[in-house]
Each structure stands twice: as C-alpha cells, then as structure tokens.
Amino acid sequence: MMSFGTYKLIPESFSPIPSQSAENAVGILVGNDFSVGLDAVGFVVGPGEDLPDSTGLPTDALARVGFTGTAGETCVLPQSSGPIIVVVGAGPREDQTASVLRDVAAAFARAARRQARLGIALGTCFELDPRVLGQTVAEGVLLARYRYVELKPSSTHVDLVSLDILVAPDLADEVRAGARTGEIMARATTLARDLANTPPSHLTAADLGGIAIELGRADGLQVDVFDKQNLIELGCGGLLGVNAGSREEPRMIKLVYTPPGDQPAPHLALVGKGIMYDSGGISLKPSDPMHFSMKMDMAGAAAVVGAMTALHALECPTAVTAFLMCTDNMPGGSAMKLGDVLNIRGGMTVEVKNTDAEGRLVMSDALVLASEESPDAIVDIATLTGAALMALGTHTAAVFGNNQALVDQAVRSSRATDESIWQLPLEHRYRQQLNSEVADISNMGGKYAGSTTAALFLNEFVGDTPWAHLDMAGTMQSDTDDSWLTQGATGFGTRLLIDLALNFTDPTR
Ligand code: BES
Ligand code: ZN
Ligand code: ZN
C-alpha cells in the first residue's frame, strides 16, 4: 500500500492569535505639543474653519482642492521632511457626536496607512466628555488599522506603533484614561477579529479551548474547558449531536470573571455560538459566495472571548459567566441525520429537521447551563440565521428578548459603541411552526420570519431568566474597509458586550 506520509496543513510555528502575540503595542500620549518623531499628523477641522497657523495652510488653499470639511473627508499633504500632514473633516458642529468622531479618527488612520507613528489634533472640534473623546479616538484609529496578515507573507501592511492625541493640558488626564479604555476595547475586538478570520483547519474547538486557558491566565479569568466525555456527563446532547459528523472533538469553554471587592455584584451570563466551520452537515450548504465565510460561524463565541479579556483591566463591577459552545458542523458518516432526536441538557428533546440549523442546538444546552446558575440575565450572541442578514443587512444585528429592560440595556450599549442592533418581535404566534410529532420541539420553522423562529427556539431553554439574544449573522463580516470596520471579520459585539457588562444592572429591579 502506498503511504502518503503525514501532510501538515498547519505549520508548527503557527500562532492562532497573531495580534495578541505580536509586539505591536500602541502607546497613547496626551500633551499640549506634538513630540518629535511622528510620521503623520492629523488636523481635524469643521466646514469653513481655519487650520492652526503652524500648518501654514490658509483655509482657502484647502477649498481650492475641493476640501469642504465633511466628516471623514481627508486631504493628505506630502512633506519632503518631517511628518506628513493630513487634514481631516469633522462635519458640522451639531453633528459632532462620539460615533462621528470614531469615523473621523478611522478616516485619518486610513489616510496615513503607510505611517506607523501618528498624532492627531482635534482643535476646537468634538467638545465631548474628555474620557469619551480619548476612548473614541483610540478605538477609531486602532480598529481602522487592523489587518489579518498572519498567513500573507507578501503583505505590505504597516503596523501602527504609536498614537498621540493633542489636547489642552487640563483635559490630559481624562483623555488619557479614556484612551486606555479605548485601547483595551480595540484589543478585545482585534482578538475577536483574529479568531474569526483564522481558517477553520487552523482553529479547531480544542485549539480555542487552549487559547481560552492562556487568555484566562493573562486576563484574570477562571477558565474551564469541557471535552467530549465531560459533555456526555453533562448531558449536552445539542452540542454532541452537532459534533457527531466531525473528526474534531467538541469543547464547551466556561469563562468566569469575578469583580474586585466583596460587595454583592450583579451577575450576567453570556453565551456564544462557536461553530468553527458550518458546512451545513447532512443538509450540506451549496458552495456559493454567501457560504465562503462559514469559518466565521464562531464569531459570537469570538466576541464573548474578546469581551471577557477586557473585564479585569477595566475593573468591571459585574460578575460575568460565559459559555462558548464549540464544534464544527460536518457531514461525516457518523453525522446526525434528519429525523434524529437529540436530548438537550435539562430534558427537552429536539427533532432535527435540518442539520444546518445547528446553532440553536448548541446554544440550547448552554442556555440551560447558564440559567442553572441563576444569573440576573443571560445575553447570547450568535451568527444564527441567514434571515437576519436578509432583514437587516451587514450593518445591523437583530436583538430579541423576553425582558424589555434588558433589551433596552443592550440597545444603549449598541448606541454607545456604534455596533448597531435593532429589536425584532418575539412573536409567539409563530411558535407552532416549531412543533414536532415525535419530540418536544423541532429545530426548523417555516419559510418566513426565520430569525424569529430561531429566537423562539432559544426562548424555550431560558426559563424565567431575563434573556436577550443577538443574531449577528449579517454583521459578522465586512466586504470592504469601511471607517473603523476592516475587510473580513468585524469583531461585532465585542465592544457592545463590554459596555453592557460595565453598565449592567439587574433588569427586574
Ligand atoms: N450559520 C448559519 C447562519 C448564517 C448564514 C450566518 C449566513 C452567517 C451568514 C446557520 O447555521 C444556518 O445555516 N441557518 C439556517 C437555518 C435554517 C436551515 C432554518 C439559515 O439561516 O438558512
Ligand atoms: Zn448552519
Ligand atoms: Zn451556523
């Protein structure tokens, strides 16, 4: 017999979390004058406003090249020595919100994409709370400069080395504190993007378990990884059923963050869908462009891991327990079949009518486990339905919930972070679409309202615990570089979940 030897798809040296392991720390300085050694300086101006005299540029010179000062408009002035100058539009004063500032900072970082050391002066624009200002500028610049280059040796991407923000001395401390928060938020998002961009054979459920343990050590989390045998003992038939057709073992990853001090703290549980690759299983997906990105079907889990890594550094006052449900969904000879019935943790049975509706199966075990801990609320995040993409496109995720106060908290965090979500109704009259002849429930609804029937399925497993569900199938990736979003995985939800945990209160009080 001919031997093919051992073919290694993944080089020994591969690190699945490149941006975390690489030395590309960004130092943020705040001062009243730019230090020497910058490669690019950005001056932010509103429509018709004057630039500082030090630039030697009268406003009409900018007008002559068509610069009008709309938000995010840029004009690059090459210099034969010293830093290049980038004039960046701020838009009209009445529109100068934090979200616009994030876009403006991102536009600057992109215009100076060949430069490593950046400085930005806001002049009299964006008179926001100085902490919000620092945070937003840091987020916009750092997120816009993200690129997944780990597997592209030919890349000419220039890593950002430093960012200076020029502000009046009396604001410096506050801006610096905000910038630190922004840097932590951006790093968490970068981790989520890296994980979701990593090819599926480079990042298995077991790999993610190992990464979570490492991250937990560095970021003050207790991490427990449950293997297949543990999951059998826990009765997690949803996760095991989806995993049945795969050669790779499943993992459930539990991360626990405990806030400092011994005061009673509110308790939030998070659940993330971690389908490392969604082939559809026996209900195989077609190889069309919509399905090229199914390595990102773990983007919910990635957002949760990312968010968890930020809590200790930000001294989050909320206790947070997270469950990540990780496996790929493959059509191997031992795969679950249409008509099979799975036993979910807690006793519910599910008839599998479509193996491609696997997300809700793995999530249901975790929702039961989460409610067993009696948290004040559960928030789950999942790339759950193509219908969410169809309904809301790539810029807005769907939110559902059984408790309006909790949904409102999520919407507030969405606004603060500019990670857009929109509430859809948990319309109970569609519940009958999930009826099964042979089990308690089936995993597939009818032709319409696919995101709602998926949410109604999840609703069955949370009991009375206040619960909100984010369906991020549409927002998991971007086709193009667009403001602080970069082409590929977006890391959507990471900052939203951090903001939610930081500001969380028991929704029943
Ligand atoms: N992972 C997909 C949902 C998805 C689609 C995410 C497009 C991102 C982009 C999910 O597992 C799935 O396949 N859902 C099915 C459910 C259906 C079979 C009931 C869908 O939405 O078509
Ligand atoms: Zn699927
Ligand atoms: Zn899926």
Examine the domain organization and report whether 150 and 87 are in the same domain.
Answer: yes
Question: Which of the listed residues 180, 210, 225 is the one where a domain comes to its end?
Answer: 180
Rounded to the nearest 5°, which phi and psi values hold at 361? -70, -45
Residue 508 lies in a domain: no
> Does one domain contain both 162 and 238?
no
142 and 211 inside one domain: no
Alpha-carbon torsion angle 276, 278, 279, 280, nearest 10: 150
Residue 153 lies in a domain: yes
Which residue range forms the structural domain that includes residue 18? 14-180
Residue 352 near ligand 1, beta carbon < 6 Å = no
Distance in angstroms (rounded) separating the CA atoms of residues 123 and 137? 14
Examine the domain organization and report whether 167 and 253 are in the same domain.
no
pLDDT in tens, 31-75: 556 667 899 999 999 998 988 887 878 888 899 999 999 999 999
Please give the distance of CA 94 from its chain centroid, rounded to a whole number.
30
SS3 40: strand
Q: Is residue 193 assigned to a domain?
A: no
Q: Which atom of ligand 1 is nearest to the CA of 296?
A: 8
Q: Looking at ligand 1, which residue's alpha carbon is closest to its atom 5?
A: 386
Q: Which residues contact 480 (CB under 8 A, 6 or more apart)?
A: 487
Q: Are residues 292 and 435 in the same domain?
A: yes
Say whether both 451 and 402 belong to one domain. Answer: yes
pLDDT for the residue numbered 12: 54
**What is the spatial distance between Cα 173 and Cα 179, in angstroms, rounded to a whole number?**
10
Closest among 71, 117, 121 to 91, alpha carbons compared: 71
Closest C-alpha to 161, from 141, 177, 176: 141
Rounded CA-CA distance 134/98 in Å is 10
Residues 6 or more apart whose Cβ sits within 8 Å of residue 135: 178, 179, 181, 182, 185
pLDDT tens-digit profile of 153-192?
999 999 999 999 998 889 989 999 999 999 999 999 999 9
Q: Collapsing DSSP states into helix, strand and coil, what is residue 219?
A: helix
The structural domain count of the chain equals: 2
- Give pLDDT, residue 185: 97
Q: How far does residue 296's CA lie from ligand 3's centre (Å)?
A: 9
Q: What is the DSSP letter of 200?
A: G
Do residues 377 and 465 touch, judged by C-beta distance below 8 A?
yes
Same-domain pairing of 257 and 284: yes
Domain annotation covers residue 6: no
Q: What is the CATH number of the domain that holds 74?
A: 3.40.220.10
Is the same domain home to 222 and 89? no
pLDDT at residue 25, as a whole number: 43
Residues 175 and 228 in one domain: no
Per DSSP, the three-state class of 328 is strand
Which residues does 26 contact at the CB level (< 8 Å), separation at least 6?
138, 142, 160, 161, 162, 163, 183
For 456-477, what is each residue's pLDDT tens digit? 999 999 999 999 999 999 999 9
In short, whether 385's Cβ falls inside 6 Å of ligand 1 is: yes
Residues 111, 115: Cα–Cα separation, whole Å = 9
Closest ligand to the CA of 389: 1
Looking at 150, 180, 210, the residue that finishes a domain is: 180
Q: Which of 134, 152, 180 is the last residue of a domain?
A: 180
- Could you tell me the strand order of the sheet in which 377-382 lies? 222-226, 251-257, 319-329, 267-278, 377-382, 467-471, 397-401, 421-423
Q: Which residue positions in the chain have pLDDT lower than 70? A: 1-35
Asked whether the beta carbons of 276 and 209 are under 8 A apart, the reply is no
Q: Which helix (H) or strand (E) holds 27?
A: strand 27-31
User: Within a 10 A sphere around the Cβ of 18, how many other Cβ atoms?
Assistant: 17
Question: 488 and 459, same structural domain?
Answer: yes
User: Is 8 within the bounds of a domain?
Assistant: no
Q: Which residues pair with 485 in a beta bridge?
A: 482
Q: What is the pLDDT of residues 408-445, one digit of tens each?
A: 999 999 999 999 999 999 999 999 999 999 999 999 99
In a domain, 296, yes or no: yes
Collapsed DSSP state (helix, strand, coil) of residue 248: coil
Report pTM.
0.96
| Residue appearing with tokens 């038939």 | 237
Tokens 């991490």 belong to residue: 223
The encoded tokens of residue 307 equal: 């968010």
Element spanning 189, H or E: helix 172-197
Give the residue carrying structure tokens 């979940």: 497
The total number of residues shown for the chain amounts to 509
pLDDT at 57: 82
CA of 385 to the centre of ligand 1 (A): 4
Say if ligand 1 is within 6 A of residue 291 CB.
no
Q: Are strands 397-401 and 467-471 parallel, antiparallel or unpaired?
A: antiparallel
The pLDDT of residue 89: 98
Q: Is the CB of 357 under 6 A from ligand 1?
A: yes
Q: Is residue 194 assigned to a domain?
A: no
* Closest protein CA for atom 17 of ligand 1: 357
419 with 495, same domain: the answer is yes
Residue 45 inside a domain? The answer is yes
Atom of ligand 1 nearest to the CA of 444: 19
Question: Residues 240, 272: one domain?
Answer: yes
CB of residue 328 inside a 6 A radius of ligand 1:
no
Q: Identify the CATH number of the domain in which residue 401 sits.
A: 3.40.630.10
